[in-house]
Structure 1
Amino acid sequence: MASVLIVIIPPASIVSGLIMDNLGRLNCIKIAGIPGVIGWSMIALAQNVPIIIFGRLLVGISSAWGTSPGIVYITEIASSNLRMSLMAIAPTYVSLGMVLTYLGGWYLHWRHLAWICNIFIIVPCLVCMVLHESPSWLILKGKYDQAKKSLEWIHKYQKPVDEQVSFAELQYKVLQEEQQKKKDEAKKHVGKGLKFIIQQFGKPTGWKPLVILTGLFFFQNFSGIYITMFYSISFIEEAHTNINPYLASILIGAVRLVMSIASIYILKKFRRRSLIFASTILMAIFMFIAGTWTRWIKEGTTELLWVPVIALLFYVVASTIGLLPIPTMLIAEFFPLEIRGIGYSISYSIFCILMFIALQTYYTMSDFFGGASNLQLFFGAICVGGCIYSYCFLPETFGMKLIDITDYFKTKFIYIGHSEKGINQEENTVRDPMLDGNGNSDKRENV
């Protein structure tokens, strides 16, 4: 049942791209509320399993249609030095939603909880009624007057650059210049279509990022991160602890929420590779502890029945500093400008497919490995494999310009022995409202 939501997201995300490009980012979020409300209402009123599954599919469509334009909207209206922090907040809200759902599931009947979920769909749609549309999209559609009003609303508290020019006016000029650059770039590829895309993915800058990300997604999904997230109650019950599984699932969600907030700071201060190494090693240690203790509990050789749950909590802490958030964040950094959009879509689809397989085969894997303890040891081994894989192939992108990352893939595939240049470049850059995250003017396309 948990995997039903995942399998519908890739195709729904493609449709959301068409909707937001043609109707606007905020309108796409509003439209997303329709299948969401219908889906949760069907679940609340369902009299059989097929209706529940169909409702879940509608909720998945709503999730894809609402999430993608939300991310694009934030990216387009936020200042460059705030984008990474705002993007890191997204997992925090996911964790908060899970905690609220766990709490609701503990106290409420599942039908009542389904009705309550409609509130979290309707409220964002109402908020979108008072927000202004993305200035970038408005300029793209030739709605220049609305774009000016939107920029004035977004930057109304921003100090003016000087007495003659407001920050909103300067941003409007920059957006117009960037839009013209994109139009000029698009003219170069008119008529190339699918053939051009295939050619780009045949280059080292196309296939290398895709291969590396696919491997990273494999280790991420089969390390147990999302299995413990979606099947937390079943996972804890099979460990035979003396802690209420519903209470434990709430604790797991709360820990993930707190650590997601902390990761907003952590991801801005520490290198990607260092975080991945620390994350996977600690995850392996705590999952090995959980697996060993689960076996001892089953054999009756220990009375410390709470250890697997505590180990799982620390496993969650370790995952949130590296292996959980970083892989999906790397998608936008790895691909060159020419195929960044389609590269993101393909990579995210692969991520969702692997997550679907991991969730769908959870009980099969448990039977194959002979129970929860061996499965937990398997997850620990996968974490070790993820650490080794990242050490060999994952490039360091912290503080690097996107063009430098593209240049790396032209000649490199195995990272071992590569000289890390410019890692601390961002830390030594003087911030300016018109500078991007790497110290470059926003007037220059950060390719």
Structure 2
Amino acid sequence: MVNGTLQLYQKKQILFAACLLLGNILVGYSLGWALPVLGKLLDKDQTPLDDVITDYEASWVASAQLIGVLIGLIISGYLSNVIGRKPSAIVMALTSLFGFTMLAVASNVSWMYAGRAVNGCGSTGIQLLNAIYIGEFASPNLRGIFMSLTGVFHTLGVLLVYAAGPYVTLKVVSYIYIGIALIHISACGYIVPESPVFYVTKGKEDDAKRIFRELGRSKDIDTELKAMMETYKEDYADRKWSQLFTIKSNRMALLITVTLFILNQAGGIMSVLFFSTMLFKNVASSIDPDVATILLGVTQFAGSIVTPVFINRCGRRILLLVSSICCSLFLAMLGAYFYLESIKHPSILCIRWMPLVALISFLFFFCIGINVIPMVLISEMFRPNVRSLGSAMTLICGCSVGLLSTSTFNFLAVTFGNYTPFWIFAAVNLFGFFFTLLVVPETKGKSLMEIEIMMRSGKHEPSL
């Protein structure tokens, strides 16, 4: 009977998680869209637009999504506390769908700008809400696996657009996204329940109990749910944003998650991906550019698969530590190669393989930890009444630093040499290793209430 009940709650929660994780495919597809598509917009024989766009316009088509990112974070964080996690997820998915519909019917570059911005708003909202949503409904022994699967489905979306983009028309690329989005919206609307934590924040204990039963978590009603209702009763009467800073557990959560997301973005992932096309051309000219693009997607997907397998065995911290130190090592190797090339060292002829190996290795180890674990922690560490706000603030800080990192890459490379930004990125990841080692606690197997108590008491000294 116990085993049967266990299997039943697992099946229920896996179904709900799968419906939500379709949204992470959309996020990855959206982020990877520019790499295989911009070439079509620059080709007069393939572009669906009235005129071929310029290189300057192409850069804006690629980056217009960032305009919608900050808006999406603010809107989704606010809506999730007002109308609930489920309605907010559907609203942001519809926004994302509308953005790609604009791309499908676009006849000029202005529509492209608008479509990318609207889609950026929606897809970023999906990413944030899934982190909150999944973290709140999943049982402690499943939460880490489900959250790490967000990275798997994200990279699956990237791989899908990398694989399809070069070989189909721009309209078909958009139609693929629209089809997945319609399935995702329908699944969320008809299958997924509201988060029980949202009902707790509204003081609706009976509704929260109903959702706990629907999730197969009846045994947690008299433990975790009861503790939530008692512990947060006073907090919900005062929902000021200042609680992010005045309550110790929230301060610690903000310090840890903001730092990890800044390190995530400042560690060079976006710059390395942008630089990878040139790297393949210079170092691996025998590889077809379209095949090289798919190789990047396969590498990221392979790395992301490792996390769900080991996250409940090794814990969050071990994966972060391994990911950070390995990323630092391979970025340092990239920097060393470009330094030797800049001084025309004779050994460069013997190590032409190094940039390609270092790039692929960096992407693999980035995806097993740094890419996913901060999102896992963001779903676990904040108190429910400020979880949306804290998550939005964390992602805004990370995205802002990512934009700064990407925009300064060329300046650093031209002014101080190609090797300089890679060594800076290596140093950032090395700092991330020590920050994780000394500050980040282990949350493996703990309920949200146990994590909150650990953060509040300050007794969260990390140990290997």
User: What TM-score bracket applies, with the shorter chain setting the length?
Assistant: 0.7 to 0.9
Any residues of structure 2 matched to 1:166-185 within 5 Å, and which?
177=226, 180-181=229-230, 184-185=233-234
Residues 76 and 134 in structure 1, CA contact (< 8 A), matched pair in contact too: no
1:11 pairs with one of 66, 71, 77: 71
CA distance 1:358–1:94, shift in 2 (3 Å): same
Can you list the C-alpha shifts for 1:360-402, whole angstroms capped at 9, x where unaligned? Answer: 333333323333x443333233333433444454455556742
Identify the match of residue 249 of structure 1 among 293, 299, 303.
293
Amino acid at match of 1:404: M
Contact 1:248 1:309 in 2 (8 A): no
RMSD: 3.7
Following superposition, the deviation at residue 7 of structure 1 comes to: 4.7
Give 1:318's aligned amino acid.
F
* 1:321 counterpart SS class: helix
Which residue of the other structure, out of 93, 98, 104, is the alignment partner of 2:164?
Answer: 104
Residue aligned with 2:426, SS: helix
Q: 1:377 is matched by which residue type in structure 2?
A: W
The equivalent of 1:65 in structure 2 is 125
Q: Given the alignment, which residue of 96, 100, 106 partners 1:46?
A: 106
- Residue 91 of structure 1 deviates from its aligned partner by 0.5
**Residues 241, 305 of structure 1: 8 Å contact kept:** no
- Aligned-partner Cα distance in 1 for 2:381–2:83: 29
CA, structure 1 residues 45+284, in 2 after alignment: closer, same or farther (shift >3 Å)?
A: same
Correspondence list, 1:175-254, <5 A? 177=226, 180-181=229-230, 184-186=233-235, 189-190=237-238, 193-194=240-241, 196-197=242-243, 201=245, 205-207=249-251, 209-229=253-273, 232-234=276-278, 236-237=280-281, 241-254=285-298
Instruction: Report deviation, 1:212.
Output: 4.7
Q: Structure 1 CA distance, aligned partners of 2:327 and 2:207?
A: 52
Look up the match of 1:427: none
Judging changes above 3 Å, is the alpha-carbon distance between structure 1 residues 339 and 113 closer, same or farther for their aligned structure 2 residues?
A: closer
Alignment match, 1:363: 410
**CA 1:364–1:230 in 2, change beyond 3 Å: closer, same or farther?**
same
Equivalent position amino acid for 1:247 in 2: V
CA distance in 2, matches of 1:335, 1:135: 15
Kept in 2: contact 1:284–1:383 (CA 8 A):
yes
1:432 maps to which residue?
none
Partner of residue 78 from structure 1, selected from 131, 134, 138: 138
The question of whether the paired residues in 2 share the 8 Å contact of 1:7 and 1:353 is answered with no
CA distance in 2, matches of 1:263, 1:315: 15
Matched, 1:353 2:413: no
**Aligned runs of 1:305-384 on 2, under 5 Å?**
305-335=352-382, 339-371=386-418, 373-384=419-430
Q: Distance in 2 between matches of 1:399 and 1:132?
A: 24
The 3-state SS of whatever aligns with 2:91 is helix
Name the SS for the 2:262 alignment partner: helix
Q: Given residue 289 of structure 1, which amino acid in structure 2 is its aligned partner?
A: M
CA contact (8 A) 2:78 2:388 kept: no
CA drift of 1:86 comes to 0.6
CA distance in structure 2 between the aligned counterparts of 1:204 and 1:152, rounded to whole angstroms: 32
Selected match of 2:458 from 401, 408, 416: 408
- 1:433 — aligned with what? none
Aligned twin of 1:288:
332
Match of 1:118 in 2: 178
1:159-185 CA deviation, whole Å, 9 max, x = no partner?
xxxxxxxx75x6667787467436732
Q: Distance in 2 between matches of 1:102 and 1:6?
A: 20
Which of 383-392 and 341-350 deviates more?
Answer: 383-392
C-alpha distance 220-213 of structure 1, shift in aligned 2 (>3 A): same
| Structure (1 or 2) with the greater helix fraction | 2
Distance 1:142 1:84, change over 3 A: same
Aligned partner of 2:423: which letter?
A: L
Contact 1:335 1:406 in 2 (8 A): no
- The 2-side partners of 1:406 and 1:396 are apart by 15
Contact residue 332 and residue 340 of structure 1 kept, 8 A: yes
* Structure showing greater relative contact order (alpha-carbon pairs closer than 8 Å, 6 or more residues apart): 2
TM-score (norm 2): 0.71
- Which deviates more from structure 2 when the two are superposed, residues 30-39 or residues 200-209? 200-209
Q: What amino acid is the match of 1:42?
A: M
TM normalised by structure 1 equals: 0.74
**Which secondary structure does the structure 2 equivalent of 1:361 belong to?**
helix
Please give the per-residue CA displacement for 1:405-425, whole angstroms capped at 9, x wherever unaligned.
Answer: 33227xx9xxxxx684xx7xx
Contact map agreement 2:324 2:432 (CA 8 A) in 1: yes
Ranges in structure 2 where 5+ consecutive residues have no aligned partner: 1-59
Separation (CA, whole Å) in 2 of partners of 1:216 and 1:146: 32
**Which residue does 2:86 correspond to in 1?**
26
Q: Do the aligned residues in 2 keep the contact of 1:242 with 1:306 (CA within 8 Å)?
A: no
CA distance in 2, matches of 1:173, 1:386: 39
Separation in structure 1 between the aligned mates of residue 155 and residue 390 of structure 2, nearest angstrom: 27
What is the alpha-carbon distance in structure 2 between the residues aligned to residue 146 and residue 331 of structure 1? Answer: 22
The aligned residue for residue 386 of structure 1 is 432
Structure 1 residue 121: deviation in Å? 1.2
Aligned length in residues: 395
Deviation at 1:119, TM superposition (A): 1.6
